Structure 1
Amino acid sequence: MFRSLHPAKFVMASPSEQLCHHYSLADIQLATQNFNDRLVVDQGGSGKVYKGRIRSEGSSSTTVAIKRYGSLSGEGVPEFSADIKTLSKMRHAHLVSLLGYCYDDKEMILVYEYMPNGTLYHHLHESSTPLSWLQRLKISIDAAWGLDYLHNGAGTQCGVVHSDVNSKNILLGENWAAKISDFRLSKICPLNQSSTYVQSCIEGKFGYMDPEIFLTGKFTSKTDVFAYGVVLFELLSGRQAVLPDGDKDLSLATWAQNCVKKRNLDQLVAVEIRGKVSPKSLKEFSQIAYRCLDSDPNVRPSMSEVVVALRLSESLQEKFENCAKPAGLFGFTWKISCYSAYPAKKNSGTN
């Protein structure tokens, strides 16, 4: 969504209106040690992300993530200016904050807050230390809050369709708090208009994309919901969005839907957390993830509904874990409080 611009055409807001910092290329080169590859923390089709320390006027240096898109042509000044203004307004605990930008010598560079625990993808598929089920639930709720904020336009007069929801675009910060990142393909839609837009060149990650997109080319908040349903089953199963199946690829979405239809919920649970998931929590989680993948976008839940269901799943898991705590000095009393759902009836007879 961020487009390059010609230096002569670029006009920033007045200081009172400026919503994020404008860094010079020299600032960025200093922060990245002249784009030293040893500081690269992520790399994709759109460019490299560097970890660096940068200083803003009147403040101490801060660790940041610096995304370099490279040399680009000079088009889209109004769109770029509007996008920067809107994104810098979107401050939420579960969105990665845009701190600044650089356009200098045809370089497009964005500066974001740094997320020390990296991507959700890494922790699900590459790390040797598995996430617990409760951690996965908390991450899922955080990210759902972030998407709900985007879709409902809180803090702006616009809603935002992310268009590239996947486990690599969910970053983990201090205490494993999750935030939505990478708004490169996002589209800003006024809330008083249709939240649908057509993209002539379809981009995104296979396995997360709503099949409807390939028929209509339309992206909506419900295409984000579909992609998030895939992320939910990824969290539950520990499997990637595209599964190897002999000579052909099978999507996680299709496999998970089949498991739910056949009521094989236990088969969905990742090996490393099997036996540690509350059956009630599993059922609630699977049901909302399944609804996210419905073939009819109108039947899919809103992200607000997803948040409610995930919080219920979390509370069921917390209760399950509390009841499963080892008995200690007060173990017997603890278990009585867990399993006595109803108070004992008073004896109506006489002694």
Structure 2
Amino acid sequence: MDSGTGDSSISAHQCVRFSLADIQSATNNFDDVLIIGHGGFGKVYKGCFHTDETSLVVAVKRLDPMSNHGAREFRAEIEMLSKLRHRHLVSLIGFCDDNKEMILVYEYIPLGTLYEHLHLAYTPLSWVERVKIAIGAARGLDYLHTGTLHGVIHRDVKSSNILIDENWAARISDFGLSKIGPTNQSISYVDASVKGTFGYLDPEYFYTRRITRKTDVYAFGVVLFELLSGRLAVDERNADDQYSLVRWAQKSVKERKLGQMVDSNIKGTIFPKCLKRFAEIAARCVHSDPEERPTMTEVVASLQALLELQEKSNRSTESSGITGFTWKINNYFVPTTKPNSGMYTHFSLVT
């Protein structure tokens, strides 16, 4: 492998240029047994680089030559992630462009995507876990928007692009559609073609082609409603008035029917004031007028305050000894340890 500096060691703070032979060795020549994710971009493999002293487990994203995600997205992701380092972002270790290949090598995130934990896992996330994941993802986005010189707009925020690490912390992934943002948050720029994922797309962006940081805020609001309800962003199985998660959630908030929005797996565990505040934060994020949406800095602060209120309520309840019938039932029937099964090891990206 060639780091471009003569140093062949793998560093978390440099973007390594790997040879195709390096990648083939790490993935046992792209062995299908090692596939941990796939989509329109191609396949992702679990790989391992061995040195004399240690070994490093990685996720290897190999772009299919027939994919719509071409050289532009490939270069964009390298450019973005080689400059961005934050504990709530997935780190890019390196890339390979030998022999017309387009391969990206990331740190391996062991517990899969938020999408999988919400929609495919047998053991559901608790309410507090969901709030903590929301805070982590919000911090990652806030760093993208404000922690760099010009700011970065992700453009494809969704639950399948939020990974869960070994500490159950959120990590934002997939920067192939990201753009360097305007220096002023109020300034927008026009994008000739709409990119993103249906269900998370900001209607304002869809109709005007104008993109700002508030485009990401909208998509994050969809994720918040997803966390609260356990529903898909778009679900064709539902009736027409519940087909879109955002429309159904907005209607529920407007009619003050917050109870019907709560995932059955966490009913009875949310302090009522926290439920109200969480729904309000999510509703503000998906406001039709981008100017009315909060910044990610404001979202982080609001969610952190909400978490503290929930944890204070939990401590008060536990110390009083009055735990409530619902709490007892939930803790009796729902296991608190989460199996580290194969379903948690998928590395899903843009499809």
Same fold by TM (over 0.5)?
Answer: yes
Contact 2:74 2:102 (C-alpha < 8 Å) held by counterparts: no
Shift of 1:196: 3.0
Shift of 1:36: 1.4
SS at match of 1:96: coil
The counterpart of 2:26, out of the listed 7, 22, 31, is: 31
Distance 2:177 2:115 in 1: 19
Distance 1:68 1:186 in 2: 19
Deviations 1:250-275 (A, max 9, x none): 21000000111011111111001001
Q: Does 1:232 align with 2:224?
A: yes
Distance 2:296 2:185 in 1: 19
Q: Does 1:292 align with 2:262?
A: no
User: 1:47 corresponds to which letter in structure 2?
Assistant: G
Contact 1:157 1:190 (C-alpha < 8 Å) held by counterparts: no
User: 1:48 corresponds to which letter in structure 2?
Assistant: K
* 1:113 alignment partner in structure 2: 107
User: 2:171 corresponds to which letter in structure 1?
Assistant: K
SS at match of 1:41: strand
Deviations 1:163-209 (A, max 9, x none): 00000000000121110000011112352697533333322211110
The counterpart of 1:324, out of the listed 317, 324, 339, is: 317
The counterpart of 1:138, out of the listed 129, 132, 155, is: 132
Q: Does the C-alpha gap of structure 1 residues 249 and 256 become closer, same or farther in structure 2, counting only changes over 3 Å?
A: closer
User: 2:38 corresponds to which letter in structure 1?
Assistant: Q
Contact 1:19 1:85 (C-alpha < 8 Å) held by counterparts: no
* 1:221 alignment partner in structure 2: 213
User: 1:117 corresponds to which letter in structure 2?
Assistant: L
Alignment of 1:142-153 (within 5 A): 142-152=136-146
User: 2:136 corresponds to which letter in structure 1?
Assistant: D
Shift of 1:215: 1.0
* 2:268 alignment partner in structure 1: 275
Alignment of 1:1-150 (within 5 A): 19-55=14-50, 60-71=54-65, 84-150=78-144
Structure 1 residues not aligned, in runs of 5+ = 1-11, 332-351
Q: Does the C-alpha gap of structure 1 residues 84 and 210 become closer, same or farther in structure 2, counting only changes over 3 Å?
A: same
Distance 1:35 1:43 in 2: 13
Alignment of 1:302-321 (within 5 A): 302-321=295-314
User: 1:309 corresponds to which letter in structure 2?
Assistant: S
Distance 2:238 2:71 in 1: 43
Contact 1:66 1:111 (C-alpha < 8 Å) held by counterparts: yes
SS at match of 2:193: coil
- Please, what is the CA RMSD of the aligned residues? 2.7
Q: Does 1:210 align with 2:202?
A: yes
Structure 2 residues not aligned, in runs of 5+ = 8-12, 324-351
Shift of 1:86: 4.2
Q: Does the C-alpha gap of structure 1 residues 59 and 304 become closer, same or farther in structure 2, counting only changes over 3 Å?
A: farther
Distance 1:195 1:49 in 2: 36
Query: TM-score normalised to the size of structure 2?
Result: 0.82
SS at match of 2:151: strand
* 2:167 alignment partner in structure 1: 175
Shift of 1:67: 0.6
Distance 1:261 1:249 in 2: 15
Q: Does the C-alpha gap of structure 1 residues 168 and 83 become closer, same or farther in structure 2, counting only changes over 3 Å?
A: closer
Contact 2:145 2:213 (C-alpha < 8 Å) held by counterparts: yes
Bigger radius of gyration: 1
Distance 2:312 2:252 in 1: 26
Deviations 1:293-328 (A, max 9, x none): 100001100000000110111111101211221667
Shift of 1:60: 2.4
Distance 2:231 2:185 in 1: 37
Higher strand share goes to which structure? 1
SS at match of 1:53: strand
Shift of 1:30: 1.1
Query: TM-score normalised to the size of structure 1?
Result: 0.82
More relative contact order, 1 or 2 (CA 8 Å, 6+ apart): 2
